Amino acid sequence: MAHPSSQALRSPLRGVLSLLQPVPASGAVPVARGDGPAVAALEDIDLSVARGEIVGVIGRSGAGKSTLIRLVNGLESPTSGRVVVDGIDVGTLDERALGPVRRSIGMIFQHFNLLSSRTVFDNVALPLEIAGVDRAGIRRRVEPLLEMVGLADKRDRYPAELSGGQKQRVGIARALATQPKVLLSDEATSALDPETTTAILDLLAGIQRELGLTILLITHEMAVIRRIAHRVAVIDGGRIVEQGEVADVFAAPAHATTRSFLGAETGRGVPAWIAERLQTEPVEGGKTVLRIVFRGEHATDPVLSQLSRELGIDVNILSGSIERIGGSPFGILLVALPGDAAAQARAARFLADRELHTEVIGHVR
C-alpha cells in the first residue's frame, strides 16, 4: 500500500499501497482458463492508497478483486508493472524477503479462518508465535487487542462458542497482532447479518482512526463503501472503470457498472410506483421527475422551499434520504417539477447556482 505520499496504489500499483505505471494491454496477472490461452485477470490497473486512508474496491464476482489482494500481499506477482507497499516493490521479492513485508500487512478474511482447536487468545497470538515473540511479549500485545475489539471476556473461548461477529472480531485482532501498517479486508462482512456488519465496519473505522492504519477494503456491497471508505475504485472485467472520492462517485456515477452497484443506495433508486409511469419524452400537462443530490454545506439547506418561494415553482417530493458519506452530509431527493421548459430551466439555474447535482429521470402524466 504505499508510502507517505498520496500516490499509493497503482496496478501496475502505486502509494502506502500502489499499483503503478499502467502498461499496454498485457498488463497484470495472467490466469489460465481450462485448456485455453491465459487471459489477464487484471489489466492496466492504476490505483493508489495514501497513508491513513480507507479505500474500497468494489466489483462483482470474477472482476479481479481477490487477485488484486493477492498482488498486494505477494501471493501473486504481476507480469508487468509494480506493486509498491510502503516504498517496497513487492513483486521483486523472493519468499524470504517477503516475510517482513507480509508481517506489515494485516489480513481479514470473509470466513474468519480461525483455528478451531485454539482459544480466542491463542488464535490472536498465532502470528506472534510464528514471528518468534516470547510468551510475555505475546501477552502484552494480545490482551490490549482483545480489549480493543471487545472480546476480553472471551479470551478462553473456542471459535465454535462464538457468533459470526465475534469470530470476525477475533480475525481483526489477529490481523493487528504484528502491528501492520496496512490492513487488507477481503469481503470481511459478506458472511454477516446487516446489524453485525454495521458493528464490524464501525469497529474498523474506529481502529483506523486510533491507529492511523491504511486500509484496502474489498467488497461487492456499496453499503460497505458508503459506511467507512474515503475513496472508492470500481473494478469490472479486470480493469478499474471508475474511481474517486466516495461522495463524488455517489453523487454522479459515470460508469454503468457503478450505477448498477448504486442501485437503491442513498435514495437513488426510483420507487416502482413512479418507475412504471415514467416516459422518456415530456408529456403535455405533465411533470418532470428530477433527482437532486445534496452534499456538504448544502445538504441540510431548505433549498426546495427557497425554490418554491423565490421562483413560484411547485415542487412535489417523491422520495429521498439524507445521511453521512465520506464524513459529510449527503442526501438525494426525487422530486417532480412542472413539465414546461421555462420552469425547468429556471429551476435548473437555481439549483446549479447552489452547486447541486441534478439529473432528469423522466416524465410523468
13, β-bridge pairs = 19
Q: Has residue 38 got a pLDDT over 70? A: no
Q: DSSP per residue over 90-134, as a string?
A: GGG--HHHHHHHHHTEEEE-TT----TTS-HHHHHHHHHHHTT--
Q: Which H or E run contains 85?
A: strand 82-85
Selection from 131, 113, 117, 109 nearest residue 179 by Cα: 131
Of 100, 126, 101, 95, which is closest to residue 112 (Cα–Cα)?
Answer: 126
Last residue of a domain, one of 204, 236, 262: 262
102: DSSP letter: H
- Predicted confidence (pLDDT) at residue 13 exceeds the cutoff of 60: no
- Do 358 and 272 share a structural domain? yes
Co-location of 95 and 206 in the same domain: yes
The DSSP secondary-structure symbol of 46 reads -
Do the Cβ atoms of 11 and 28 come closer than 8 Å?
yes
Q: Indicate if 316 and 188 belong to the same structural domain.
A: no
Asked if residue 65 belongs to a domain, the reply is yes
pLDDT digits (tens, 9 = 90+) for 166-210: 999 999 999 999 999 999 999 999 989 999 999 999 999 999 999
pLDDT digits (tens, 9 = 90+) for 143-174: 999 999 999 999 999 999 999 999 999 999 99
Total count of domains within the chain: 2
Based on the fold, state whether residues 38 and 79 are members of the same structural domain.
yes
State whether 249 and 100 are in the same domain: yes
Angle formed at CA 280 by CA 277 and CA 285, multiple of 5 degrees: 70
The verdict on residue 243 lying in a domain is: yes
Q: Which residue is listed with cell 458508503?
A: 226
Mention every residue, 6+ apart, whose C-beta is less than 8 A from residue 29.
Answer: 40, 41, 42, 67, 71, 76, 77, 78, 79
Q: CA-to-CA distance for 13 and 105, rounded, in angstroms?
A: 16
CATH for 37: 3.40.50.300
Which residue range forms the structural domain that includes residue 281?
267-364
In this structure, is residue 145 part of a structural domain? no
Q: What is the pLDDT of residues 88-104, one digit of tens each?
A: 898 888 888 888 888 89
Q: Does 345 lie in the same domain as 271?
A: yes
User: Are residues 310 and 185 both part of a single domain?
Assistant: no
**pLDDT band at residue 266 using 50, 70 and 90 as cut-offs:** low
Best CA proximity match to 183, nearest among 9, 8, 1, 59: 1
Rounded Cα gap, residues 350 and 33, in angstroms: 54
Which residue matches cell numbers 505505471? 21
First to last CA, the chain: 53
CA 61 to chain CA mean position, Å? 15
Is residue 56 situated within a structural domain?
yes
Final residue belonging to a domain, choices 242, 262, 282: 262
Residue 96 sits in the same domain as residue 185: yes
Could you give the CA distance from residue 39 to residue 33 in angstroms, rounded to a whole number? 7
**Quick check: 2 and 35 in contact, CB under 8 A?**
no
Residues 255 and 275 in one domain: no
* Rounded to 5°, angle at Cα 327 from 324 and 331: 30
Residue corresponding to grid cell 514471528: 131
Q: Taking the model in full, what pTM does it have?
A: 0.79
Q: Are residues 313 and 258 in the same domain?
A: no
Whether 154 contacts 106, CB under 8 Å: no
